[in-house]
Amino acid sequence: MQKLFVALREKYPEAEVRDVKFIVNPVEAADQAVTSIDIKLAEVVKNASPLAGAEALM
């Protein structure tokens, strides 16, 4: 998941990324190469906006 970690470091250079966890649909991910998933997750990070805080999850 190199591209994912690179995207996180670029977007949040002041943060220390130690671990990333995510849930995927096994049926959809089963036939994809890990590198393909890595690229797609990196793009999600690059285009995502951070949540305002814990209250934004409600």
H or E segment to which residue 35 belongs = helix 34-47
pLDDT of residue 50: 73
pLDDT of residue 32: 83
Q: Specify the long-range contacts of residues 34-42, CB closer than 8 Å, at least 24 apart.
A: 34/1, 38/1, 38/2, 38/3, 38/4, 39/3, 41/1, 41/3, 41/4, 41/7, 42/3, 42/4, 42/6, 42/7
pLDDT of residue 36: 87
pLDDT of residue 56: 65
pLDDT of residue 42: 92
pLDDT of residue 58: 58
Using alpha carbons, select from 11, 21, 1 the residue that is nearest to residue 45.
Answer: 11
Q: What is the pLDDT of residues 1-58, one digit of tens each?
A: 789 889 988 988 888 888 877 777 778 777 888 888 889 889 998 998 877 776 665 5
DSSP 14: T
